[in-house]
Amino acid sequence: MLLSVRDLRVSFRMEKGQRIEAVRGVSFDVPENSTVALVGESGSGKSVSAMSILNLLPDNAERSGSIQFMGREMLAAPLSVLQGIRGKDIACVFQEPMTSLNPVYTVGNQISEVLIRHMGMSPRQAIKRAEELLVEVGMPEPKRRLNAYPHEMSGGQQQRVMIAMALACEPKLLIADEPTTALDVTIQRQILELMAKLKDKHKMSMLFISHDLGVVGEIADHVVVMRHGQVRESSPVAGIFANPQDNYTKALLACRPAMDRVPGRLTVIDDFIAGRVNDKPAAAKNPDAPVVLEVRGLKKSFWIKEGLFGKREFKAVKDANFKLRKGHTIGVVGESGSGKTTMGLTLLRLHEPTSGEVIFDGKNLLKMTGPERDKMRRRIQIVFQNPYASLNPRFTVGQTLMEPMQVHNLLANDTERQKKALSVLSKVGLDASAFGKYPHEFSGGQRQRIAIARCLVLEPEVLVLDEAVSALDVSVQAQVLNLLKDLQDELGLSYVFISHDLAVVRFISDEVLVMKDGEVVEQADAATILERPQQDYTKRLLGAIPRGYQAQAA
């Protein structure tokens, strides 16, 4: 057995002598040349369990139990031994490559450092090997990329660099912690296929951490399902999908949006476990609802410096046209770099457009200035992808909700504004105690609810949701999507929903725009586009969706 974990317990010392037990008696094995997946929601203990193997935990962590790697006990291993193993025999690929790569060193330097330290190569040998590794992970123009910095690469390219660094010393075990969560479906597909190919080529084992059973079903041999720091189910991957034993596993499978049907509400884990499952289909929308937003010929270009004095035009959005009706949702899908986020930001003039019209309430938003523009901005709001970055960490939730009302002079005084803020918090499923707390005291899903509440206090008519649920695990994602549908039904909101997740878009959208290289290449109602796509690009996007073990078995 390559890795054997037995009765692992991890607790964190907190202030005033308190302890939080994050992992409670976890046991699992990773055989040679196999992939074992740890699956569960945020806070289930899966990442803490994996990081315990190399003791990549904060100083306030305490571990007990047994972790044996190739017969050597890791819990008692001194730091000098762990440093010899880290990166050489056990390597890691993390979720967010931009925070894992050093922004002030070139890609070549960062890969070379591993080879010089662990393999004893000279700088010249290390650079040559670094280029070979970039070729192996499918990096375009590998020689040129050696001199590039991380910020000059896309998310998929950054993740390829992380994989190249991890494979540099040909480790026996690769720990991959949510390596595809932040990537669009086609890049996710490429990374999953790359990792599976390299695993077989190098005869290594992989510990794959994810909250998405659809992804896990395509790459894992064995699945360990965790919740609240404990193992709920452990089984070969076929058994997990064909015959799950634990209610929690069944709930994880049930709460993922499906491509073949659109329920009125997504199943939430606690509801499923309690037997409260709603299979009612989604209610039909009024096809003749009034148009609240019309976009005509919207274009956005950026000028990029070339050489000493030259510059070239980069056309990020090319001639976008669509109509958004009251109470309806337009989904905007495409790969990273397709222009979907730029289009969303240009609608709100967070990017100034190059040309075109955005007609709202009979007026062109792009021509408005001064107080008229500020007044209209209140009626069109945006929810961003990352709830951790979009809230001011120095503001309480109450201050976060009160500030926009104060800026726009809504209501007579702060007493009325506070009453309004508390009412909106209740609407998004948070109680009054949240008002005085700070963002760090909430989970990711709760923070996204606060970000939505911040928009709702202004009583907008249109919400632009830019990857608003992509950073959330599937169960929290289901809660937020249900919330968005409830708010739409109750308040008549209209959404521009930007996402790379087509299953989510299928659930929430009435109409879908498919974007590629700044152009809308296909546009139709959601069912038509996702069931009978016309463009090869749309078919490729649909083909890249992880579909679990069924796709692997087929």
CATH of the domain at 237: 3.40.50.300
- Of 215, 245, 275, which residue is a domain's last? 245
Q: Which residue range is the domain that position 333 belongs to?
A: 327-351+368-553
pLDDT at position 35 over 50: yes
CA–CA distance, 82 with 89 (Å, rounded to integer)? 10
Q: Which residue, 225, 207, 231, 224, is CA-closest to 24?
A: 231
37 within some domain: yes
Asked whether residue 235 falls in the same domain as residue 372, the answer is no
pLDDT band at 553 (very low <50, low <70, confident <90, very high): very low
The string of pLDDT tens digits covering residues 141-170 is: 889 889 999 888 877 788 889 888 888 888
Asked whether residue 238 falls in the same domain as residue 344, the answer is no
The string of pLDDT tens digits covering residues 475-518 is: 778 888 888 898 898 889 999 999 888 888 988 999 999 999 99
pLDDT band at 548 (very low <50, low <70, confident <90, very high): low
The string of pLDDT tens digits covering residues 401-441 is: 999 999 998 998 999 999 999 999 988 888 899 999 998 88
pLDDT at position 470 over 80: no
Inter-residue contact 298 to 519 (CB < 8 Å): no
Give me the chain's average pLDDT, please. 88
Give the pLDDT of residue 182.
64
Go through the chain and tell me how many residues it has: 554
146 within some domain: no
119 within some domain: no
- Of 217, 245, 273, which residue is a domain's last? 245
pLDDT at position 554 over 60: no
Give the pLDDT of residue 268.
85
Per the structure, the count of domains in the chain is 2
CA–CA distance, 401 with 407 (Å, rounded to integer)? 11
Looking at the DSSP bridge assignments, the partners of residue 86 are 90
- Of 186, 212, 245, which residue is a domain's last? 245
H/E element, 218: helix 213-219
Q: Which residue, 344, 452, 435, is CA-closest to 390?
A: 452
Which of 15-24, 69-78, 184-193, 515-524 shows the lowest mean pLDDT across its residues?
A: 184-193
